[in-house]
Amino acid sequence: MMILGIETSCDETAAAVVQDGKKILSDVIYSQTVHRQYGGVVPELASRDHLKKIVPVVREALTQAGISPGQIDAVAATSRPGLAGALLVGFCFARGLAQSLDVPFVSVNHVEAHAQAAFLSDPELKAPAVALVVSGGHTSLFYIDAGFRFFLMGQTLDDAAGEAFDKVAKLLGLGYPGGPAIEQRAKLSSSDRIIFPKAMLGPQSLDFSFSGLKTAVLNYVLDPKHGGRENLSPENINDVCRGFQTAACAVLVEKLKRACDLAGCQNAAVAGGVAANGFLRQDLMDLETKEGLKISIPGIRLCTDNAAMVAACASRMLDQGQKISDNTVQARVTWPKYQNT
């Protein structure tokens, strides 16, 4: 089965063709650059850029896959969660294309698609599994049962981890997106002298909170004895980045371990943009070795927003006989309420 996936939930316009839910025939991603001058994504500008790029991106995905529109067996698109206008561009385009080709249209949850990326990149990963989806908009833990149903185990109570990276980078004048900038500066640090608090929220909690960590960074930066915000030395900024990154990643790793212990599960998937962070990936590899877990992390390209994960998720939904979307399905800014374990 040949599935065309489309992703426009935030600031990437992406299209991909995946065969039988396993083989990526094409994977085209256009990342918007207009937002850098604003230090974050501007929803209206994102929607306009999607409108400009959706057709050429889809056309390029078909060309790279070496297929014609008539060879598509289904069209899938992210329908939730995300920015309203951005979602509508890809969702409406995909549904219209499916209708014109007389093929099924599959509405895909963006967060579930991120988890699917780990299964796409690692065929040996099997459910049941625990999934940590950690990105600029989401930080959540799920239990995925053998039927690939998602059960929410924990989630952020305030900022997502990626959002915290972006805000700390902005505070330090490192630009947007913040994740890569902080990781790069942290690599230049040779000192663990700055230790920021790790919000564990109790010994059994699986929820996350990064607001206190952001505040701790702010207080450090504004403290006159460190030179104040305008006079931080490059070396001090490097050390702040290292301290922040260490604290944030430690929380993510510890919560994943807790979730695996609670679920009695040895398989884990970690996905989302923050999963591209090299420091976090190393910590997860160390956890895997220490605890005897199998932790699957997609390659960097499949960690960030992409359409291959959308197509693969749709393929799995079709294989399991899940209800195919009809004209009553709408794009939604928020995700559905998952059943708690």
DSSP 110-127: HHHHHHHHHHHH-TT--S
Average pLDDT on 242-250 reads: 97
CB 248 within 8 A of CB 166: no
How far is Cα 70 from Cα 68, in angstroms, rounded to an integer?
Answer: 5
Exposure class string for 288-302: b at 16+ Cβ within 10 A, else e: beeeebbbbbbeeeb
| pTM of the predicted protein model | 0.90
Q: Is the pLDDT of residue 133 over 90?
A: yes
Question: What is the pLDDT at residue 341?
Answer: 44
How far is Cα 319 from Cα 3, in angstroms, rounded to an integer?
Answer: 12
Question: What is the pLDDT at residue 326?
Answer: 60
Question: What is the pLDDT at residue 185?
Answer: 97
How far is Cα 94 from Cα 268, in angstroms, rounded to an integer?
Answer: 31
CB 46 within 8 A of CB 11: yes
Question: What is the pLDDT at residue 171?
Answer: 93
CB 78 within 8 A of CB 110: yes
Question: What is the pLDDT at residue 228?
Answer: 73
Question: What is the pLDDT at residue 321?
Answer: 80
In Å, the largest CA–CA distance within the chain is 67
- Of the listed ranges 59-73, 151-165, 222-236, the least confidently predicted one is 222-236
CB-based contacts of 103, cutoff 8 Å, min separation 6: 72, 73, 74, 75
Q: What percent of the chain has pLDDT over 90?
A: 82
80 confidence band (pLDDT: 50, 70, 90): confident
Q: List the beta strands (DSSP E) in the chain.
A: 2-7, 12-19, 23-31, 74-80, 105-109, 129-134, 139-144, 150-155, 267-271, 294-296, 339-340
Q: For residue 260, what are its two tokens?
A: 């695996």
CB 60 within 8 A of CB 46: no
Mean pLDDT over the full length of the chain: 92
SS3 130: strand
Strand 12-19 to strand 23-31: parallel, antiparallel, or no bridges (unpaired)?
antiparallel
Domains of the chain from N-terminus onward = 2-114+302-340 (3.30.420.40), 123-297 (3.30.420.40)
CB-based contacts of 107, cutoff 8 Å, min separation 6: 76, 77, 79, 80, 91, 325, 329
Question: What is the pLDDT at residue 176?
Answer: 87
How far is Cα 235 from Cα 187, in angstroms, rounded to an integer?
Answer: 11
Average pLDDT on 139-155 reads: 94
Going by C-alpha positions, the residue among 246, 318, 256 that lies closest to residue 291 is 256
Average pLDDT on 84-89 reads: 95
Strand partners, 106: 76
Average pLDDT on 169-184 reads: 93
Average pLDDT on 50-63 reads: 97
Q: Is the pLDDT of residue 322 over 90?
A: no
Q: Is the pLDDT of residue 14 over 80?
A: yes
